Structure formats: structure tokens, C-alpha cells
């Protein structure tokens, strides 16, 4: 449906994109006792870390190989080795996920080879697991970096199994959530899977690490996540569900290792999308009915659709987000009769962009969002927190979605997936519309103001 | 009921200008036109509610409800009358009587103090004091309190002695108008008058509907001198007696007021409507003709015709794009008394089909119009119970329900689009541009893709090929090497 356009200009005004290594780091943080490691200069890490800290309001273990001028020129293998040794000493991680940055990729290094050599030589690193994802900042966006990291983890940790040993009756399923899903959203999807008597393994699983909980002890590594033992076991699952088109690559790799079917759900927001997922769960569980709680959630969503369509039907809005998130939210709103007058996204790599319910998708920035919203007469904006400047300039309400949401609390609790999350999302949008009430004025209709002679001569104060 | 109130009610029922009333025998007329309310099967507001509907849109007045909390607390700040200036009318004032106040008879004193507090704090041009069931029953004399307060504070305190139990909402509207006639109209003189000054009675400027029509009047040089009570100032009510013509908008309830204005001040009135294209034109035409009859420059008529021709053409041109989107849609119209037949005819003109209409408060003339427009009586509904309406809609006998808020959820729960056409609506539908807005609202509602989704069967209600259907395998089965096929997958 949508045509992707790249503005012919040199300048990016108010960036929309978060970089790919940041996405990779976030994915690594969804693994038990892990520390993400950026192979790059110190600043790359510091900016990404601050970004993550402000979004999650949590301490984020994120390390750097601290490349300097000399090591950049001569090669960074020693820096990596030293970094791993130091991280082991300080944080005792079980897993270190490495993400490259623009600096090291511009130089070009054979990290895979170097890592194999290091691990063979350093027996003292013991059972520590490593994964390496190539995530140059100059290519793709956060969701691409996330997907690359998940792909790297699967590649490094999931063995290929002999299909003869597959247990067809195993009620275990793999869930690969894309970068746009919050911990609360993954939790909701897990709840739905469990409701059908299935046992999910989530990779990566931020629900245990960045859901915002107070831990009993200080940890220099991630506070939880997918157990390292569970990752190889994913090969034996009955099916792999990927949520978000950006996760198709990792899902395919996992399916190759485990010889299992794969189903990619581009979105779990909106009645139709969730119906498709529930239908798939019923298939895997081998049931023709759903648990009462799921049925009730669906009936509630239907009612929310009826209540919210007065505000959302005919609503003109502008959205700026990574492709998977943009698709999830805009397809749900399109189903409610809203019109995306402007859609801006970050990465051309995701084919889901073609299905965005919008004539044109701009590979651009928040400056494009502001212009598109103004030109299209939008009355609502959807973007991450930096969209607040455009919202203020245009005098419009902003629904915060994506990363970062650093000027509000509870970003990790926002849930817009599943029947329940969709219901909350519809109310969120409708309430944003209602929060900017429109008071009709005579001049809007072209009516002359009332004659002053009719006005009461004494000043009237009223608390409105 | 006090004698004074009893007399007010009797007077309200004896309405010579009302065609329905004229057709009745003397004995029937004495019974009044309010249908007795049926305990256990009544819906709708009380007389107090009606008085508030009529008077609260006066924007610079403080509206003080003399009652225990429910009368004001459960009803304030819920109407969409718009103001171009003062917002005092949106402030909820009540005496909030307690048990002690009622038992000890402190009501009158508390009311007096409340009026003083309002005058001191807000300095409004007037305070309207609304009687309610409890304060009437315990015999609080609000007229006396208002008289004393007016003298003491120098701001008119106007008693609106219309307690809820006096009767229906409709009666309350009538009595609200009567209170204005007794206590407000004629108490102030305008700075200047013109020969194109008019009164508009019975419009409440919901969501700005008055302003959809006002530009037309502006262009014709017609001035709204008096208003009851669209975007009205107190002064505009007090000066109504100096207008040349009164337009009574869609309202049988205030016809008594219009007649008394004619009898007392010699201001002729006409009934008109700003809903629908032809009715709007007709109202403008009549208004101009009557103004000219009363001495306005005769070129007003030509200017009026030119304006009508221009605006009608513009409205139909704006409506044309919607024709393919709404043509063939079946409308069930379920509104109160007054139907705007002009709206119905505009919808029909756009290819929509009106499959039924309620006639619960309709007059015989209205019923005759239904037959005239729809050809048969079979689609007239008397009072339709919610369950019956739900079934009618659920059986897909209509594509859209146009009604007031009370049947909103009947339509929604039957998964049928609904457009609000009553007083609680959030969009203005008056005049030429309002008709375009109404059709746009119908289009937006009836063509929303949400309806298809919400009517879809749930996954567990769909026929499934077999219980153990599993998702498709991607590409080729790694074991068998067969191309992807759900059946092949079962084999691997």
C-alpha cells in the first residue's frame, strides 16, 4: 500500500532513529546474567547507556572496548580480550553480547575469527558464553540491531538438532519479540500463550530484567532474562512465533536449527491481528475453544472499539516510529477508521513498510513528522518522547510510543498488544483526543462576534 | 404543589397558539398535554431539568440550584451549549441542603446567603434561583428570598419556580420560558434598535449550531437582539421585547412564550427550523418576509433569495462527494417530538433510505408527513422498547440509527452505527454547512471499517479444519524436502 520515499536532502532535523547497537544492547539485556559490550569508542556506549537509563529508570550494565586512536588503527582484538577479562572480574556475567559500532565497522575487523581465537586461548574464561552481532550505526535502526543480536545469540547458542529426536508432543513454543515490544507487552503475550497450556521460551526476555523491579542485591550484569540453559533447548520447541516482521530472520535461523515451523505475526495490536495469534495458539494447543479469560478479554476489546470509534473514526494523525511499531499501531488505528496523514520511519530494511496504511512512508526524522502533520491537518501525533517538540509547535496531543520515552514514568508498563493491550491503546488514543477538547468559537464558522452592548458591564470571574 | 405553581401549570397547558391544543375539547384541554408518567416505565427528565435546558445556556448568569445535592450535583456540566464569551453558566452553583437544613428550615436563609456569596464573588448580571422538589415541598418561598436578595444586593435574583415533580421535561421548558416572561423580559431597554432586530427562541447553540446560521444573518444584516437562549447574555433576554420578529426554533414547548410576546409587545413570530437545507431556506425566507412586513427595506427579500440560491448550490456541491458513500444505506430515525422532515428529505435526496421512524411524541400532522414521505405507515414505531430496538438492529434491518444518547448503547451493542442527533450531540448540524457535517458524520460512522471487525466471529466460533491445525512450515520441510503445505507439515 505504502510507497517508501527518501527525502532528497542532506540535513536531518530532530532525529527519529535510535542506533542499531543500542537495539543490540537492549536485546542482550534480555538474557540472564549478561553484559552487553560495545566494540567502539567510549562515547558510543555512554550515549546509548544514558538513553537506556533515562527510558527504563534503571542502572544499565553496558560496557565498551574503549577503542582509542592507536587500537582503532592497529586493530581491536586486544581491546576485546581485555574488556571481556575485566567484565568477568567486575560483574561475573554468564554471557557477554558484543555489538560492533560505526567506528570498528568503518575500519573492518574479523571479529568472529578473533573471538574464536581468544576463546580457544583463554581457558580461564571458562563457561562464559559470547555472541557477536555486526551492528554498524550507519545501517538500519534500533529494531535491526535488536534482530541482529537475537540472530547472533541463536547462531552462537542454539545447536542444530537431529530431526529424528524432535518431540512432536512437546508443548513448548519459542517466542521472539521484536524491539518495539515493552516488557509488559511480552508479559501479556506470555500470558496468552500460557492460557492455552503452552510453555513459552522468550528470547530475549526483558520481562525479568527491565520490567522495573527492586532487586535484593546489586548486580553488575542484567537482573534476569532468558535463562542461558533455555536457549539451546529452544531447538526442541514445537513452533517458533516471531512478533514483528523484523524478527523473521532470527526466526528462520531458529527454525533451521530446530526443524520446526515458524509463524511471523507482524503485529499483535488490533482485533484481527490478535485473533490470528489466538487461532495459531489454538492450533498448536490442539483445542477448538479458548479459556474464558481470553474470551472475556476479546469481548471487552469489542466494547472498547465501539466506545472509542467516536473519537478514533475519522481521526487524522501522524506517526513516527520504527517499522514494526509503526505498522502495529497504524494498522490497529486504520481498523478503527483513523487516517495516517503522515508516516515517518527509520529503516528501509523491513518489508512491512509496504503494508503501512498510508500513501507514503518517509524514511526521515521528526522534522518530517512535523511538516507532514501540518500539511495533512493531523490532530494527533504518535512518536517517542522527542516528538513533544513537534507536538508543542503544532499544539497537538502526543501519544508516546517507541524508544525513548524518557519524559514519562512507566514506559516499560505500556502494553498495547493482545486483546487487553489493544483495548488500552484505543482508550489511550481516544483520551488523547479528548484531552484537547475543542471549544467551538463563532469565528470558526465565519460568524461575527456578539455586539459588546449585550455584555454585562461589570467584570465576571469564573473558574474556567 | 403551591397555588402559584398550580396556576402556572394550568396556564402553560392552556395554549391557544398550539395546534394540538386547539384541536382538543375544552375538557381534554383542562387535563393538559402532559401524558401521565408511568411508574416503573418512565424515562426522561423532570420539569426542573426542562427549565435548566431552556435557561442554562444564558452564559453570563449564575444558575443557582436550591436543592439537596442530586439535582445539581448529578447533572451539572453535561450540556454542550457553547458560549462566545462568559463562562459563568458552566459553573455549578447549588445550596447543597443537608438533613439539618431541611429539618430545621434553614433553606431560605442558606439560599439568601448563597445568593450574596455569588454576587460578591462573581458579580453576574443576574442570579437565577431554581426551586426543586424538596425545597418546594418544605415550603421555601424562593420568590420572597429572591425579592429580598435583589433589593439587598442590587443584582436581580430571578426565581425559577419549576420543581421537578411539577411534570415532564417538556413542561419544564414551557415554565422556564414563562419565568423569563414574568421576571426578565422587558426589564431593560436596548441602546439602539434596528428594523432588522430579531429574537431567536428555542435554540441552545449546542456545539455552536447558532454560529453555523449566524453568518447567514450577518450577511443579510439581520441582528439577533434577543435570544432564549443560544449564546445569550442576560441583557438579550431582558431586551427581547424590542425585536421586530421572533423565530421559534423547533420547539412546541416555548410557543406559549412566543404567543405572549406577540400579544403583549406586538412581535409576530413564526416557527422554523435550521435543520436541513430546504428548512433553512424556508426559515430565512419567512424571517425576511416578516421583517419587511414590519418595515424593513424591501430589498432584503432579493438579497435573501440570492443568498439562498448561492448557499443551497454550495451545500449540494459539498454533499455530492458523499452520495456514493452513503447511497443505499438504511436509516432508522428515533428521535423525540419534532422531526426535521427537511433532514429526511435531504438524506433521501442523497440516496439513503429511511426505513423507520418513531412517532412517540409526534402529532397527527407529523404522522401524515411520515406517510407522505415513506409511503406507508408500517415503518412508524410507537414507543420502542430497548430489547425490541436491539432485535430490529441486530437483524440488520437498518444500517444506522440516528437518535438521542439514550438509545446509543442499544445500537452499539447490536453492532450497528449510531449518529447522535439529539441535544447531547458533540457536533453542530445546523444550517447549510451543518447538513454537510451531518452527512459527513453519517459517512464516517457507517463506513468505519471497525464495524466489519467487531462483527467478525471469534477464532473459537469459526469452523476449524481440524482440532490440531498447526501453523505453516516455512518454505520447505527440512526433513521431507516437500514444499510448504499444512498437510505436509503434519507428515514431518
Q: Which of A48, A131, A136 is nearest to A96 (CA)?
A: A131
User: In whole angstroms, what is the distance from residue B95 CA to residue B112 CA?
Assistant: 10
Per-residue pLDDT band at B434 (split at 50, 70, 90) = very high
For the segment A265-292, what is each residue's pLDDT rounded down to a tens digit? 999 999 999 999 999 999 999 899 999 9
Q: Which of A283, A451, A460 sits opposite B470 (nearest CB)?
A: A283
Residue B17 lies in a domain: yes
Question: For residue B336, what pLDDT is reported?
Answer: 59
* pLDDT confidence tier of residue A152, bands split at 50, 70 and 90: very high
| Per-residue pLDDT tens over the stretch B93-119 | 999 999 999 999 999 999 999 999 999
- Range(s) of the domain holding residue B271: 197-319
- Inside any domain, residue B384: yes
If you measure CA to CA, which chain A residue comes closest to B207? A440
Residues B285 and B380 in one domain: no
| Residues B225, B156 share a domain | no
Q: Is the pLDDT score of B469 beyond 50?
A: no
Domain termination site, one of B402, B425, B448: B425
User: Which residue from A minimizes the CA distance to B239?
Assistant: A454
Quick one: cell of B35? 401524558
Does some domain include residue B371? yes
Residue B354: which CATH number? 3.40.50.1980
Q: Could you tell me the pLDDT band of residue B466, with boundaries at 50, 70 and 90? A: low
pLDDT of residue B349: 84
CA distance A130 to A119: 9
Topology of the domain comprising A3-10+297-435 = Rossmann fold (3.40.50)
Chain B contact set for A170 (CB, 8 A): none
A229 vs B8, which has greater pLDDT? A229
Task: Assess whether pLDDT exceeds 80 at residue B252.
Answer: no
Instruction: Look up the CATH number of the domain holding residue B313.
Output: 3.40.50.12380
For residues B238 and B311, state if they share a domain.
Answer: yes
Q: Say if the Cβ atoms of A337 and B450 lie within 8 Å.
A: yes
| Residue B10, CA distances (Å) to A43, A108, B30, B174, B337 in order | 86, 97, 8, 11, 22
Residue B202, domain member (yes or no): yes
pLDDT at B59 over 80: yes
pLDDT at A170: 79
Question: Which residue among B88, B428, B433 sits closest to A462, beta carbon to beta carbon?
Answer: B88
Residue from A306, A443, A461 to probe the interface with B (highest B Cβ count within 10 Å): A306
For A210-220, how does the pLDDT look when each residue is reduced to its tens digit (9 = 90+)? Answer: 999 998 888 88
Of A288, A453, A454, the CB nearest to B467: A288
Give the residue-averaged pLDDT of A135-150. Answer: 94
Does B326 score more than 50 pLDDT?
yes
Q: In this predicted structure, which of A238-247, B23-32, B258-267 has the lowest mean pLDDT? A: B23-32
Residue B245 in any domain: the answer is yes
Q: How confident is the model at residue B168 (pLDDT cuts 50, 70, 90)?
A: confident
Return the HEC string of B64-120. Answer: EECCCHHHHHCCCCCCCECCCCCCHHHCCEECCCCHHHHHHCCHHHHHHHHHHHHHH
Q: Which residue has the higher pLDDT, B470 or A263?
A: A263
For A252, the closest chain B residue by CA position comes to B474
- CB contact under 8 Å between B91 and A463, yes or no, is yes
Read off the pLDDT band of A371 (50, 70, 90).
very high
pLDDT (0 to 100) of residue B10: 80
Is residue A463 very low, low, confident or very high in pLDDT (cuts 50, 70, 90)?
very low
Q: Quick: pLDDT tens for A98-122.
A: 999 999 889 888 899 999 999 999 9
Domain shared by B12 and B151, yes or no: yes
- Disruptive mutation site among B471, B486, B489 for chain A (greatest number of A CBs within 10 Å): B471
Q: What percent of chain A has pLDDT over 70?
A: 98
Nearest CB neighbour to B450, from listed A290, A295, A309? A309
CB contact under 8 A, B449 and A448: no
User: Same CATH fold, A20-139 and A3-10+297-435?
Assistant: yes
**pLDDT for residue B418 is more than 90:** yes
pTM, whole model, 2 decimals? 0.91
Look at residue B378 in the predicted model and tell me its pLDDT.
60
Number of inter-chain CB pairs under 8 A, A vs B: 169
B334 CA to chain A: closest CA distance, Å? 19
Residues B306 and B339 in one domain: no
The total number of structural domains that make up chain B? 3
Is residue B485 over pLDDT 80?
no
CA angle A114, A120, A125 (to 5 degrees): 100
Asked if B256 and B336 sit in the same domain, the reply is no
Please indicate, yes or no, whether residues B243 and B348 belong to a single structural domain of this protein: no
Q: Which of A271, A290, A453 is closest, CB to CB, to B453?
A: A271
Residue B490 lies in a domain: no
CATH homologous superfamily, domain A163-209+220-292: Nitrogenase molybdenum iron protein domain (3.40.50.1980)
pLDDT at B490: 36
ipTM value for the complex:
0.89
Query: In the predicted model, is pLDDT for residue B486 greater than 60?
Result: no
Indicate whether B257 pLDDT > 70: yes
Q: B379 in the Ramachandran plot: left (φ > 0), alpha (ψ -120 to 50) or beta?
A: alpha
The C-alpha cell at A448 is 461575527
Place A9 in a pLDDT band, splitting at 50, 70 and 90: confident
Cβ within 8 Å, pair A454-B235? yes
Asked if the Cβ–Cβ distance from B473 to A261 is below 8 Å, we say yes
Cβ-Cβ contacts under 8 Å, A239 against chain B: 470-471
Q: Which position has the grid cell 427579500?
A: B301
The pLDDT, as a whole number, for residue A239 is 93
Q: Inter-chain contact B218–A441, Cβ cutoff 8 Å?
A: no
**B483 pLDDT band (50/70/90 cuts)?**
very low
CA angle A106, A109, A114 (to 5 degrees): 155
Are residues B143 and B116 located together in one domain of the fold?
Answer: yes
The answer to whether the Cβ–Cβ distance between A275 and B236 falls below 8 Å is no
Q: A462–B86: do the CB atoms touch at under 8 Å?
A: yes
Contact B471 A283 (CB under 8 A): yes
pLDDT, tens digit, 9 for 90 and up, residues B26-40: 667 666 666 667 777
Mean pLDDT of A428-432: 97
Are B86 and B165 within one domain? yes
Q: Per-residue confidence at B477, pLDDT binned at 50, 70, 90?
A: very low
Structure confidence by residue, pLDDT tens digits, A48-97: 999 999 999 999 999 999 999 998 888 889 999 999 999 999 999 999 99
CA angle B347, B351, B357 (to 5 degrees): 50
Residue A397 has pLDDT above 90, yes or no: yes
**Rounded distance between C-alpha atoms, residue B12 and residue B254, angstroms:** 10
Least trusted range by pLDDT, from A19-33, A413-427, B47-61, B383-397? B383-397
Cell of A248: 523473521
- Asked if B471 lies within 8 A of A259 by C-beta distance, the reply is no
Which of B82, B433, B460 shows the shortest C-beta gap to A440? B82
Chain B nearest-CA residue for A338 = B448
Angle between helices B277-293 and B209-220 (to 10 degrees): 40
A256:B478 CB<8 A: yes
Q: Is B215–A448 a contact, with Cβ atoms under 8 angstroms apart?
A: yes
For cell 540535513, the residue is A11
pLDDT of residue B340: 63
Asked if the structure places residue B484 within a domain, the reply is no
Statement: residue B384 has pLDDT above 70: yes
Give mean pLDDT, residues B302-312: 97
pLDDT of residue A233: 93
Flag whether B462 is in a domain: no
Phi, psi of A342 (to 5 degrees): -155, 130
Give domain limits for chain A: 3-10+297-435, 20-139, 163-209+220-292
Confidence of residue A179 (pLDDT cuts 50, 70, 90): very high
Tell which of B319, B341, B367 closes a domain. Answer: B319
Residue B366 CA to residue B360 CA, distance in Å, equals 11
What is the nearest CA distance from B440 to chain A, expressed in angstroms? 10
Q: Answer yes or no: do B91 and A456 touch at CB < 8 A.
A: no
Which among A444, A308, A206, A342 has a CA at the least distance from the CA of B428? A444
Angstrom CA distances, A14 to A332, A368, A385, stand at 27, 9, 12
Interface test with A, best of B322, B440, B450 (most A CBs within 10 A): B450
Q: For the residues A235-243, what does the mean pLDDT come to?
A: 94
| Same domain assignment for residues B224 and B132 | no
Identify which of A255, A440, A460 has the shortest CB distance to residue B60: A460
Query: Which of A206-220, B246-260, B349-363, B442-456 has the least mean pLDDT?
Result: B349-363
- List of chain B residues whose C-beta atoms are within 8 Å of the C-beta of residue A269: none
pLDDT digits (tens, 9 = 90+) for A282-332: 999 989 999 999 999 999 999 999 999 999 999 999 999 999 999 999 999
Asked if residue B119 and residue B11 are part of one domain, the reply reads yes
Cβ-based contacts of A163 with chain B (< 8 Å): 478-479, 492
Flag if B433 and A449 touch (Cβ within 8 Å): no
Of A156-160, A165-169, B428-432, the range with the lowest mean pLDDT is A165-169
* CATH 3.40.50.1980 for domain A20-139: yes
Nearest CA in chain B to A437: B426
Q: At what angle do helices A323-334 and A418-435 cross, to 10 degrees?
A: 80
* Chain B hits for A448, Cβ within 8 Å: 214-215, 218
Q: Which three cell numbers stand for residue A108?
A: 573492518
- The answer to whether the Cβ–Cβ distance between B458 and A444 falls below 8 Å is no
Residue A458 has pLDDT above 90, yes or no: no
Per the listing, cell 409587545 goes with B265
Mark whether B375 and B309 lie in a shared domain.
no
How confident is the model at residue B339, as a pLDDT? 54
Amino acid at each position: 500500500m505504502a510507497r517508501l520515499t527518501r527525502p532528497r536532502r542532506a540535513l536531518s532535523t530532530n532525529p527519529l532513529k535510535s542506533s542499531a547497537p543500542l537495539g543490540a544492547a537492549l536485546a542482550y539485556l534480555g538474557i540472564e546474567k549478561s553484559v552487553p559490550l560495545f566494540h567502539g569508542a567510549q562515547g558510543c556506549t555512554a550515549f546509548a547507556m544514558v538513553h537506556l537509563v533515562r527510558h527504563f529508570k534503571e542502572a544499565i550494565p553496558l560496557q565498551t572496548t574503549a577503542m582509542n586512536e592507536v587500537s582503532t588503527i592497529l586493530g581491536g582484538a586486544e581491546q576485546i580480550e581485555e574488556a571481556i577479562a575485566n567484565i568477568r572480574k567486575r560483574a561475573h556475567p554468564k554471557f557477554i553480547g558484543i555489538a560492533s559500532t560505526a567506528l570498528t565497522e568503518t575500519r573492518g575487523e574479523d571479529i568472529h575469527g578473533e573471538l574464536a581465537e581468544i576463546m580457544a586461548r583463554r581457558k580461564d574464561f571458562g563457561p562464559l558464553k559470547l555472541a557477536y552481532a555486526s551492528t554498524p550505526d550507519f545501517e538500519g535502526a534500533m529494531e535491526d540491531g535488536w534482530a541482529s543480536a537475537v540472530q547472533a545469540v541463536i547462531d552462537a547458542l542454539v545447536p542444530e538438532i537431529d530431526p529424528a529426536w524432535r518431540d512432536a508432543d512437546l508443548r513448548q513454543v519459542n517466542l521472539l519479540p521484536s524491539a518495539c515490544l515493552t516488557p509488559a507487552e511480552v508479559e501479556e503475550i506470555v500470558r496468552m500463550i500460557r492460557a492455552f497450556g503452552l510453555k513459552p521460551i522468550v528470547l530475549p526476555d526483558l520481562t525479568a530484567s527491565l520490567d522495573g523491579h527492586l532487586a535484593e542485591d546489586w548486580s553488575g550484569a542484567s537482573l534476569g532474562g532468558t535463562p542461558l540453559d533455555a536457549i539451546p533447548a529452544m531447538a526442541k520447541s514445537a513452533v517458533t512465533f516471531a512478533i514483528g516482521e523484523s524478527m523473521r530472520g532470527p526466526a528462520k535461523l531458529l527454525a533451521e536449527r530446530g526443524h520446526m515451523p515458524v509463524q511471523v505475526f507482524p503485529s499483535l495490536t488490533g482485533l484481527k491481528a490478535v485473533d490470528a495469534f489466538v487461532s495459531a495458539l489454538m492450533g498448536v494447543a490442539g483445542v477448538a475453544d479458548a479459556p474464558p479469560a481470553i474470551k472475556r478479554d476479546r469481548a471487552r476489546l469489542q466494547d472498547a472499539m465501539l466506545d472509542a470509534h467516536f473519537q478514533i473514526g475519522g481521526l487524522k494523525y501522524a506517526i513516527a516510529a520504527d517499522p514494526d511499531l509503526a505498522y502495529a499501531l497504524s494498522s490497529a488505528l486504520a481498523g478503527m477508521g483513523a487516517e495516517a496523514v503522515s508516516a515517518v520511519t527509520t529503516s528501509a530494511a523491513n518489508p512491512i513498510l509496504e503494508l503501512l496504511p498510508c500513501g507514503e512512508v518517509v524514511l526521515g526524522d521528526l522534522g518530517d513528522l512535523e511538516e507532514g502533520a501540518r500539511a495533512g491537518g493531523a490532530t494527533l501525533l504518535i512518536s517517542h518522547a522527542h516528538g513533544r517538540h513537534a507536538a508543542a509547535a503544532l499544539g497537538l496531543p502526543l501519544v508516546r510510543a517507541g524508544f525513548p520515552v524518557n519524559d514519562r514514568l512507566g514506559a516499560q508498563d505500556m502494553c498495547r498488544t493482545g486483546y487487553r493491550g489493544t483495548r488500552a491503546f484505543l482508550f489511550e488514543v481516544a483520551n488523547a483526543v479528548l484531552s484537547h477538547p475543542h471549544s467551538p468559537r463563532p469565528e470558526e464558522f465565519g460568524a461575527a462576534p456578539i455586539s459588546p452592548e449585550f455584555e454585562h458591564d461589570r467584570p465576571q470571574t469564573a473558574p474556567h | 404543589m403551591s397555588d402559584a405553581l398550580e396556576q402556572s401549570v394550568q396556564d402553560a397547558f392552556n395554549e391557544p397558539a398550539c395546534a394540538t391544543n386547539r384541536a382538543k375539547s375544552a375538557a381534554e384541554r383542562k387535563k393538559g398535554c402532559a401524558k401521565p408518567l408511568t411508574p416503573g416505565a418512565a424515562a426522561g427528565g423532570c420539569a426542573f431539568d426542562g427549565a435548566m435546558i431552556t435557561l442554562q445556556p444564558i452564559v453570563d448568569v449564575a444558575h443557582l440550584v436550591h436543592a439537596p445535592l442530586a439535582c445539581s450535583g448529578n447533572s451539572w456540566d453535561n450540556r454542550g451549549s457553547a458560549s462566545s464569551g462568559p463562562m459563568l453558566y458552566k459553573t455549578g452553583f447549588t445550596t447543597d441542603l443537608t438533613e439539618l437544613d431541611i429539618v430545621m428550615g434553614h433553606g431560605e436563609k442558606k439560599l439568601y446567603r448563597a445568593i450574596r456569596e455569588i454576587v460578591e464573588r462573581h458579580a453576574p448580571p443576574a442570579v437565577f434561583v431554581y426551586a426543586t422538589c424538596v425545597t418546594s415541598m418544605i415550603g421555601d418561598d424562593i420568590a420572597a428570598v429572591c425579592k429580598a436578595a435583589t433589593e439587598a444586593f442590587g443584582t436581580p435574583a430571578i426565581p425559577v419556580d419549576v420543581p421537578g415533580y411539577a411534570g415532564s421535561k417538556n413542561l419544564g421548558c414551557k415554565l422556564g420560558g414563562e419565568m423569563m416572561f414574568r421576571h426578565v423580559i422587558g426589564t431593560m431597554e436596548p441602546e439602539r434598535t434596528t428594523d432588522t432586530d430579531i429574537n431567536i427562541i428555542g435554540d441552545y447553540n449546542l456545539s455552536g449550531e447558532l454560529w453555523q446560521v449566524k453568518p447567514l444573518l450577518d450577511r443579510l444584516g439581520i441582528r439577533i437582539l434577543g435570544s432564549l437562549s443560544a449564546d445569550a447574555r442576560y441583557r438579550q433576554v431582558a431586551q427581547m421585547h424590542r425585536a421586530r420578529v421572533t423565530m421559534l426554533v423547533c420547539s412546541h414547548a416555548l410557543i406559549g412564550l412566543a404567543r405572549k410576546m406577540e400579544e403583549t409587545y406586538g412581535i409576530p413570530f413564526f416557527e422554523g427550523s435550521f435543520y436541513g437545507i430546504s428548512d433553512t431556506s424556508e426559515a430565512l425566507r419567512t424571517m425576511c418576509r416578516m421583517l419587511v412586513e414590519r418595515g424593513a427595506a424591501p430589498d432584503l427579500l432579493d438579497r435573501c433569495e440570492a443568498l439562498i440560491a448561492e448557499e443551497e448550490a454550495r451545500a449540494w456541491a459539498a454533499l455530492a462527494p458523499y452520495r456514493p458513500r452513503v447511497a443505499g444505506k438504511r436509516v432508522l430515525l428515533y428521535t423525540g417530538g419534532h422531526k426535521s422532515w427537511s433532514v429526511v428529505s435531504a438524506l433521501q435526496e442523497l440516496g439513503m433510505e429511511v426505513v423507520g421512524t418513531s412517532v412517540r411524541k409526534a402529532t397527527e400532522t407529523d404522522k401524515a408527513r411520515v406517510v407522505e414521505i415513506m409511503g406507508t405507515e408500517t415503518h412508524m414505531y410507537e414507543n420502542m422498547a430497548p430489547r425490541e430496538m436491539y432485535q430490529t438492529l441486530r437483524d440488520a434491518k437498518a444500517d444506522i440509527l440516528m437518535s438521542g444518547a439514550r438509545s446509543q448503547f442499544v445500537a452499539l451493542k447490536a453492532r450497528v452505527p449510531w449518529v447522535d442527533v439529539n441535544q447531547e450531540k458533540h457536533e453542530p448540524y445546523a444550517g447549510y454547512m451543518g447538513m454537510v457535517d451531518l452527512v459527513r458524520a453519517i459517512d464516517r460512522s457507517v463506513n468505519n471499517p471497525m464495524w466489519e471487525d467487531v462483527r467478525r466471529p471469534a477464532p473459537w466460533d469459526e469452523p476449524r479444519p481440524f482440532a490440531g491445525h498447526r501453523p505453516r512450515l516455512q518454505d520447505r520441510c527440512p526433513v521431507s524436502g516437500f514444499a510448504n503445505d499444512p498437510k505436509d507439515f503434519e507428515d514431518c
